[in-house]
Structure 1
Amino acid sequence: MVAHRLEQAINSLSKEIQINHFNNVKNIDVKLAKIMAFNDCSVIRPLVRLIEDNAQYDEAVFLIIHSIESFENDVYINEIINEFPYLVKKAHNWATILLIRILNSNTARECMIDKVSLTTSAIKNSILFLLQRINAEKTNFYEKTASLMKVINPI
Protein backbone atom coordinates (compact mmCIF):
# COMPACT_ATOMS: atom_id res chain seq x y z
CA MET A 1 0.00 0.00 0.00
CA VAL A 2 2.81 2.44 0.91
CA ALA A 3 4.75 1.49 -2.22
CA HIS A 4 1.67 2.19 -4.33
CA ARG A 5 1.19 5.63 -2.73
CA LEU A 6 4.85 6.44 -3.29
CA GLU A 7 4.61 5.38 -6.92
CA GLN A 8 1.51 7.55 -7.34
CA ALA A 9 3.34 10.54 -5.83
CA ILE A 10 6.29 10.07 -8.21
CA ASN A 11 3.92 9.68 -11.17
CA SER A 12 2.10 12.86 -10.13
CA LEU A 13 5.38 14.80 -10.11
CA SER A 14 6.43 13.29 -13.42
CA LYS A 15 3.11 14.28 -14.99
CA GLU A 16 3.42 17.82 -13.59
CA ILE A 17 6.86 18.16 -15.17
CA GLN A 18 5.76 16.69 -18.51
CA ILE A 19 2.71 18.93 -18.76
CA ASN A 20 4.17 22.18 -17.42
CA HIS A 21 7.86 21.62 -18.20
CA PHE A 22 9.19 22.76 -14.80
CA ASN A 23 7.06 25.89 -15.13
CA ASN A 24 5.23 25.69 -11.79
CA VAL A 25 7.88 25.66 -9.07
CA LYS A 26 5.31 25.71 -6.26
CA ASN A 27 3.50 22.60 -7.56
CA ILE A 28 6.81 20.78 -7.97
CA ASP A 29 7.80 21.74 -4.42
CA VAL A 30 4.50 20.45 -3.00
CA LYS A 31 4.72 17.19 -4.94
CA LEU A 32 8.36 16.68 -3.95
CA ALA A 33 7.46 17.22 -0.29
CA LYS A 34 4.88 14.43 -0.56
CA ILE A 35 7.49 12.13 -2.09
CA MET A 36 10.18 12.99 0.43
CA ALA A 37 7.77 12.41 3.34
CA PHE A 38 8.13 8.69 2.60
CA ASN A 39 11.86 8.97 3.46
CA ASP A 40 12.60 6.22 0.95
CA CYS A 41 15.87 6.26 -0.99
CA SER A 42 14.24 4.34 -3.84
CA VAL A 43 12.96 7.73 -5.05
CA ILE A 44 16.44 8.97 -5.93
CA ARG A 45 16.80 7.32 -9.33
CA PRO A 46 13.29 8.21 -10.57
CA LEU A 47 13.83 11.80 -9.42
CA VAL A 48 17.19 12.03 -11.20
CA ARG A 49 15.53 10.85 -14.41
CA LEU A 50 13.16 13.83 -14.28
CA ILE A 51 16.00 16.34 -14.59
CA GLU A 52 16.26 18.11 -17.96
CA ASP A 53 18.65 20.74 -19.28
CA ASN A 54 15.85 22.66 -20.96
CA ALA A 55 13.73 23.09 -17.83
CA GLN A 56 11.76 26.33 -17.70
CA TYR A 57 13.03 27.26 -14.22
CA ASP A 58 16.33 26.19 -12.71
CA GLU A 59 14.79 26.54 -9.23
CA ALA A 60 12.50 23.61 -9.99
CA VAL A 61 15.45 21.40 -10.90
CA PHE A 62 17.32 22.53 -7.80
CA LEU A 63 14.32 21.42 -5.72
CA ILE A 64 14.86 17.92 -7.10
CA ILE A 65 18.61 18.09 -6.52
CA HIS A 66 18.19 19.29 -2.94
CA SER A 67 15.69 16.50 -2.30
CA ILE A 68 18.14 13.91 -3.60
CA GLU A 69 20.97 15.40 -1.58
CA SER A 70 18.91 15.24 1.61
CA PHE A 71 19.80 11.55 1.90
CA GLU A 72 23.10 10.47 3.48
CA ASN A 73 26.04 10.70 1.05
CA ASP A 74 26.54 6.95 1.00
CA VAL A 75 22.91 6.34 0.05
CA TYR A 76 22.45 9.15 -2.44
CA ILE A 77 25.77 8.61 -4.24
CA ASN A 78 25.20 4.87 -4.41
CA GLU A 79 21.94 5.56 -6.26
CA ILE A 80 22.93 8.55 -8.36
CA ILE A 81 26.20 7.09 -9.63
CA ASN A 82 24.26 4.58 -11.72
CA GLU A 83 22.32 7.39 -13.40
CA PHE A 84 25.30 9.33 -14.75
CA PRO A 85 25.32 7.62 -18.19
CA TYR A 86 21.63 8.49 -18.57
CA LEU A 87 22.10 12.03 -17.25
CA VAL A 88 25.06 12.75 -19.53
CA LYS A 89 22.84 12.00 -22.53
CA LYS A 90 19.67 13.69 -21.29
CA ALA A 91 20.92 16.56 -19.14
CA HIS A 92 24.69 16.92 -19.30
CA ASN A 93 24.60 20.45 -17.87
CA TRP A 94 22.73 19.30 -14.77
CA ALA A 95 24.90 16.18 -14.57
CA THR A 96 27.91 18.50 -14.46
CA ILE A 97 26.30 20.57 -11.70
CA LEU A 98 25.51 17.43 -9.70
CA LEU A 99 29.10 16.24 -9.97
CA ILE A 100 30.47 19.68 -9.04
CA ARG A 101 28.27 19.63 -5.94
CA ILE A 102 29.67 16.21 -5.01
CA LEU A 103 33.23 17.41 -5.63
CA ASN A 104 32.66 20.47 -3.43
CA SER A 105 31.94 18.29 -0.40
CA ASN A 106 34.95 16.43 1.00
CA THR A 107 32.81 13.62 2.42
CA ALA A 108 30.71 13.27 -0.73
CA ARG A 109 33.84 13.32 -2.92
CA GLU A 110 35.48 10.57 -0.82
CA CYS A 111 32.29 8.53 -1.00
CA MET A 112 32.22 8.95 -4.79
CA ILE A 113 35.86 7.87 -5.05
CA ASP A 114 35.11 4.73 -3.02
CA LYS A 115 32.08 3.81 -5.13
CA VAL A 116 33.26 4.69 -8.64
CA SER A 117 35.95 2.01 -8.65
CA LEU A 118 33.22 -0.63 -8.35
CA THR A 119 31.14 0.61 -11.29
CA THR A 120 30.87 -0.34 -14.94
CA SER A 121 32.97 1.18 -17.70
CA ALA A 122 29.88 3.03 -18.99
CA ILE A 123 29.47 4.76 -15.64
CA LYS A 124 33.18 5.51 -15.39
CA ASN A 125 33.25 6.92 -18.93
CA SER A 126 30.27 9.18 -18.28
CA ILE A 127 31.86 10.52 -15.09
CA LEU A 128 35.21 10.95 -16.85
CA PHE A 129 33.45 12.96 -19.58
CA LEU A 130 31.98 15.23 -16.91
CA LEU A 131 35.30 15.57 -15.07
CA GLN A 132 37.04 16.58 -18.30
CA ARG A 133 34.29 19.09 -18.95
CA ILE A 134 34.64 20.50 -15.44
CA ASN A 135 38.43 20.78 -15.80
CA ALA A 136 38.05 22.59 -19.12
CA GLU A 137 35.56 25.08 -17.68
CA LYS A 138 36.90 25.44 -14.14
CA THR A 139 40.66 25.18 -14.01
CA ASN A 140 40.61 25.74 -10.25
CA PHE A 141 38.75 22.43 -9.82
CA TYR A 142 41.63 20.20 -10.90
CA GLU A 143 42.61 19.53 -7.29
CA LYS A 144 39.07 18.25 -6.63
CA THR A 145 38.79 16.22 -9.84
CA ALA A 146 42.26 14.64 -9.84
CA SER A 147 41.65 11.94 -7.23
CA LEU A 148 38.41 10.84 -8.89
CA MET A 149 40.06 10.84 -12.31
CA LYS A 150 42.85 8.60 -10.98
CA VAL A 151 40.33 6.00 -9.84
CA ILE A 152 38.55 6.07 -13.20
CA ASN A 153 41.62 6.27 -15.41
CA PRO A 154 44.63 5.01 -13.41
CA ILE A 155 47.11 5.32 -16.31
Structure 2
Amino acid sequence: MDINIEAKKLKDNRLLKTEEEIRNFEQAVENIISMKDVNNIKYLCLGFDDSTEHDEVMFGLIHAIESYDKMFGAEEALAKLAEAIPDMYPHAKEWVKVLHKRILNDAPSRKIYVKVISNSDSSIKKTVIDLFSDIMEKNPSKFEMAVNEFLAGLN
Protein backbone atom coordinates (compact mmCIF):
# COMPACT_ATOMS: atom_id res chain seq x y z
CA MET A 1 0.00 0.00 0.00
CA ASP A 2 1.30 3.47 -0.89
CA ILE A 3 0.89 6.15 1.82
CA ASN A 4 0.89 8.97 -0.74
CA ILE A 5 -2.03 7.42 -2.65
CA GLU A 6 -4.00 6.87 0.57
CA ALA A 7 -3.23 10.41 1.81
CA LYS A 8 -4.41 11.86 -1.51
CA LYS A 9 -7.60 9.80 -1.30
CA LEU A 10 -8.18 11.06 2.24
CA LYS A 11 -7.57 14.69 1.26
CA ASP A 12 -9.62 14.48 -1.94
CA ASN A 13 -12.65 13.13 -0.06
CA ARG A 14 -12.46 15.13 3.18
CA LEU A 15 -15.50 17.29 2.51
CA LEU A 16 -17.64 14.14 2.69
CA LYS A 17 -20.34 15.46 0.37
CA THR A 18 -21.46 12.09 -0.98
CA GLU A 19 -21.75 8.53 0.25
CA GLU A 20 -18.90 7.63 -2.11
CA GLU A 21 -16.65 10.31 -0.59
CA ILE A 22 -17.47 9.03 2.90
CA ARG A 23 -16.63 5.43 1.87
CA ASN A 24 -13.38 6.49 0.18
CA PHE A 25 -12.42 8.62 3.18
CA GLU A 26 -13.11 5.90 5.74
CA GLN A 27 -11.30 3.30 3.63
CA ALA A 28 -8.26 5.57 3.36
CA VAL A 29 -8.26 6.04 7.15
CA GLU A 30 -8.38 2.27 7.67
CA ASN A 31 -5.62 1.69 5.12
CA ILE A 32 -3.37 4.32 6.69
CA ILE A 33 -3.87 2.91 10.20
CA SER A 34 -3.17 -0.62 8.95
CA MET A 35 0.33 0.50 7.94
CA LYS A 36 1.14 0.89 11.64
CA ASP A 37 3.55 3.80 11.20
CA VAL A 38 3.41 6.66 13.70
CA ASN A 39 4.70 9.01 11.00
CA ASN A 40 1.36 8.57 9.24
CA ILE A 41 -0.37 10.80 11.80
CA LYS A 42 0.62 13.75 9.61
CA TYR A 43 -1.19 12.16 6.67
CA LEU A 44 -4.30 11.49 8.75
CA CYS A 45 -4.33 15.14 9.83
CA LEU A 46 -4.67 16.12 6.17
CA GLY A 47 -8.16 14.64 6.31
CA PHE A 48 -9.53 17.38 8.55
CA ASP A 49 -11.46 20.26 7.07
CA ASP A 50 -13.73 22.74 8.83
CA SER A 51 -16.10 22.68 5.82
CA THR A 52 -16.90 18.99 6.12
CA GLU A 53 -20.50 17.91 5.98
CA HIS A 54 -20.27 15.02 8.46
CA ASP A 55 -18.74 15.77 11.85
CA GLU A 56 -19.29 12.20 13.04
CA VAL A 57 -16.90 10.92 10.35
CA MET A 58 -14.31 13.48 11.47
CA PHE A 59 -14.64 12.20 15.02
CA GLY A 60 -13.81 8.78 13.63
CA LEU A 61 -10.62 10.35 12.29
CA ILE A 62 -9.88 11.79 15.74
CA HIS A 63 -10.29 8.32 17.27
CA ALA A 64 -8.00 6.89 14.59
CA ILE A 65 -5.28 9.40 15.48
CA GLU A 66 -5.76 8.74 19.19
CA SER A 67 -5.30 5.01 18.54
CA TYR A 68 -1.62 5.68 17.84
CA ASP A 69 -1.17 6.34 21.58
CA LYS A 70 -1.74 2.65 22.23
CA MET A 71 0.41 1.48 19.32
CA PHE A 72 3.43 3.74 19.84
CA GLY A 73 3.01 5.49 23.17
CA ALA A 74 1.44 8.84 23.89
CA GLU A 75 4.64 10.88 23.75
CA GLU A 76 5.59 9.77 20.25
CA ALA A 77 2.01 10.08 18.94
CA LEU A 78 1.54 13.55 20.46
CA ALA A 79 4.88 14.69 19.03
CA LYS A 80 3.75 13.65 15.54
CA LEU A 81 0.43 15.42 16.08
CA ALA A 82 2.25 18.62 17.10
CA GLU A 83 4.41 18.42 13.97
CA ALA A 84 1.26 18.15 11.83
CA ILE A 85 -0.44 21.29 13.21
CA PRO A 86 1.03 23.75 10.64
CA ASP A 87 -0.36 21.62 7.80
CA MET A 88 -3.86 21.93 9.26
CA TYR A 89 -4.05 25.73 9.05
CA PRO A 90 -6.15 27.51 8.00
CA HIS A 91 -8.57 24.93 6.56
CA ALA A 92 -8.96 22.83 9.74
CA LYS A 93 -8.41 25.24 12.63
CA GLU A 94 -11.61 24.17 14.40
CA TRP A 95 -10.58 20.50 14.24
CA VAL A 96 -7.17 21.43 15.64
CA LYS A 97 -9.06 23.00 18.55
CA VAL A 98 -11.16 19.86 19.05
CA LEU A 99 -8.02 17.70 19.16
CA HIS A 100 -6.44 20.06 21.67
CA LYS A 101 -9.54 20.25 23.86
CA ARG A 102 -9.33 16.47 24.12
CA ILE A 103 -5.71 16.77 25.23
CA LEU A 104 -6.63 19.44 27.80
CA ASN A 105 -9.41 17.23 29.17
CA ASP A 106 -7.07 14.28 29.76
CA ALA A 107 -4.55 14.97 32.54
CA PRO A 108 -2.02 12.26 31.54
CA SER A 109 -2.04 13.43 27.90
CA ARG A 110 -1.77 17.05 28.99
CA LYS A 111 1.33 16.32 31.09
CA ILE A 112 2.99 14.48 28.21
CA TYR A 113 2.02 17.22 25.76
CA VAL A 114 3.74 19.85 27.93
CA LYS A 115 6.96 17.89 27.53
CA VAL A 116 6.40 17.45 23.78
CA ILE A 117 5.65 21.13 23.17
CA SER A 118 8.55 22.24 25.37
CA ASN A 119 10.84 20.37 22.97
CA SER A 120 9.09 21.58 19.80
CA ASP A 121 10.34 24.36 17.58
CA SER A 122 9.28 27.87 18.51
CA SER A 123 6.64 28.23 15.79
CA ILE A 124 4.77 25.11 16.93
CA LYS A 125 5.12 26.16 20.56
CA LYS A 126 3.68 29.61 19.78
CA THR A 127 0.81 28.09 17.76
CA VAL A 128 -0.13 25.74 20.62
CA ILE A 129 0.09 28.52 23.23
CA ASP A 130 -2.15 30.74 21.07
CA LEU A 131 -4.52 27.84 20.48
CA PHE A 132 -4.83 27.02 24.18
CA SER A 133 -5.26 30.71 25.03
CA ASP A 134 -8.10 30.93 22.50
CA ILE A 135 -9.73 27.77 23.88
CA MET A 136 -9.50 29.14 27.44
CA GLU A 137 -10.83 32.56 26.43
CA LYS A 138 -13.94 31.02 24.87
CA ASN A 139 -14.68 28.72 27.83
CA PRO A 140 -12.70 29.76 30.91
CA SER A 141 -14.78 27.81 33.41
CA LYS A 142 -13.98 24.55 31.65
CA PHE A 143 -10.40 25.09 30.45
CA GLU A 144 -8.69 27.80 32.53
CA MET A 145 -7.17 25.45 35.10
CA ALA A 146 -5.91 22.96 32.50
CA VAL A 147 -4.47 25.66 30.23
CA ASN A 148 -2.75 27.43 33.12
CA GLU A 149 -1.27 24.11 34.27
CA PHE A 150 -0.03 23.45 30.73
CA LEU A 151 1.47 26.94 30.31
CA ALA A 152 3.16 26.76 33.71
CA GLY A 153 4.86 23.52 32.68
CA LEU A 154 6.42 24.89 29.49
CA ASN A 155 10.14 25.70 29.48
Quickly name the TM-score band, shorter chain normalised. Answer: 0.7 to 0.9
Paired positions, count: 147
Could you say what the CA RMSD is over the residues aligned between the two structures, in angstroms? 1.9
SS at match of 1:90: coil
For structure 1, which segment, 51-60 or 22-31, has the greater mean C-alpha deviation from structure 2 after superposition? 22-31
1:88 CA drift (Å): 4.3
Instruction: In structure 1, give the amino acid aligned to 2:4.
Output: E
1:132 CA drift (Å): 1.2
Q: Aligned equivalents of 2:135 and 2:77: distance in 1?
A: 21
Q: Verify: 1:45 aligned to 2:42, yes or no.
A: yes
Q: Can you give the 5+ residue segments of structure 1 that lack an aligned partner in the other structure?
A: none
Q: Is the 8 A contact 1:22 1:61 kept in 2?
A: no
Q: Is the 8 A contact 2:105 2:146 kept in 1?
A: yes
- 1:34-73 aligned at under 5 Å gives the runs 34-72=31-69, 73=74
For structure 1, which segment, 21-30 or 72-81, has the greater mean C-alpha deviation from structure 2 after superposition? 21-30
What's the CA shift string for 1:10-69, capped at 9, x where partnerless?
23222333xxx2234343222211221111112100111221111111122212211111
- 1:78-97 aligned at under 5 Å gives the runs 78-97=79-98
The match for 2:152 is: 150
SS at match of 1:47: helix
The match for 1:30 is: 27
Instruction: In structure 2, give the amino acid aligned to 1:150.
Output: A
- 1:115-134 aligned at under 5 Å gives the runs 115-134=116-135
Q: Aligned equivalents of 2:92 and 2:10: distance in 1?
A: 18
Q: Can you give the 5+ residue segments of structure 2 that lack an aligned partner in the other structure?
A: none
Q: State TM-score, norm by structure 2.
A: 0.83
